[in-house]
Amino acid sequence: MNFITFDRLLPGIKNWAVTVQVIDKQKPQVSKKGRRYLKLLLADEKANKIDALIYGSDIDFFRNHFQIYRRFVVSNARLQYADDPLTLEQKTCTMIIDNSTIVEPLDEQQPPLLPPLYQFTPFKKLCHHIDTNSDLDVIGIVVHVNPQSTKGATPIRDIVLTDQSSMAIILTLWGEHATDEGQIIAETIHTQPLIAALRVKATSYGTITLSTKFASCILINPPLQEGPPLRQWAAKNNEAITKAITEKTYENPLELLPPPDAEDITHIGAIVTAPQKKAFWIQGTPKLLDRSQKLWYHACPFCHKSIRSTPEYKITCLSCHRRIHVVARPRITVDFTDWSGNITLDLYGKDAQQLLPYKISEIQQQESENNIPYRAIEECISDNTIICFIKKAPYSYEPSATQKYTAIVAHKIYLAEQGSRLTGAAGSSSA
pLDDT digits (tens, 9 = 90+) for 286-333: 999 988 899 999 999 998 999 999 999 999 998 888 899 999 999 999
- 138 and 275 housed in the same domain: no
On whether residue 402 sits in a domain, the answer given is yes
CB half-sphere exposure, 36, CA atoms < 13 A = 7
Q: Are residues 17 and 61 in the same domain?
A: yes
Pair 270, 402 in one domain: yes
Residue-wise over 377-400: b if at least 16 C-beta within 10 A, else e?
A: beeebeebbbbbbbbbeeeeeeeb
Point out the least confidently predicted range of 270-279, 358-367, 382-391.
270-279
* Mean pLDDT in residue range 133-155: 92
User: Could you tell me if residue 11 is inside a domain?
Assistant: yes
Burial 2-25 (b: 16+ CB within 10 A, else e): eeeebeebeeeeeebbbbbbbbbb
225 and 186 assigned to the same domain: yes
pLDDT for res 401: 45
**Strand, coil or helix: what is 7?**
helix
Positive or negative: CA dihedral 319, 320, 323, 325:
negative
Domain boundary among 55, 78, 105: 105
**Shared-domain flag, residues 269 and 309:** yes
In this structure, the answer to whether residues 275 and 405 fall within a common structural domain is yes
Q: Is residue 118 part of a domain?
A: no
pLDDT at 274: 64
**Is 189 among the domain residues?**
yes
Asked if 278 and 400 sit in the same domain, the reply is yes
Name the pairing type of β-strands 49-55 and 71-75.
unpaired
Q: How confident is the model at residue 400 (pLDDT cuts 50, 70, 90)?
A: very low
Same structural domain, 79 and 140: no
Could you tell me if 280 and 414 lie in one domain? yes
Distance CA 57, CA 235 (A): 45
Examine the fold and report which residue of 105, 133, 151 is the final residue of a domain before the chain moves on. Answer: 105
Q: What is the DSSP letter of 148?
A: P
User: Quick one: pLDDT at residue 328?
Assistant: 96
CA 347 to centroid of chain Cα atoms: 22
Supply the CATH number for residue 143's domain. 2.40.50.140
Partners of 2 in the β-ladder: 16
Q: How far apart are CA 277 and CA 392, in angstroms?
A: 10
Say if 110 falls within a structural domain.
no
Q: Are residues 80 and 137 in the same domain?
A: no
Residue-wise pLDDT for 338-380, tens only, equals: 999 999 999 999 999 999 999 999 999 999 999 999 999 999 9
Task: Select from 50, 77, 105 the last residue of a domain.
Answer: 105
In a domain, residue 115? The reply is: no
- Domain co-membership, 239 together with 302: no
Asked whether residue 359 is assigned to any structural domain, the reply reads yes
| Mean predicted lDDT score pLDDT of the chain | 88
Is residue 114 assigned to a domain? no
pLDDT category at 2 given cuts 50, 70, 90 is: confident
Once rounded to an integer, what is the mean pLDDT over residues 402-411? Answer: 87
- How many separate domains does the chain show? 3
- Give the structural domain span for 223: 123-256
Split at pLDDT 50, 70, 90, the class of 402 is: low
Does one domain contain both 237 and 266? no
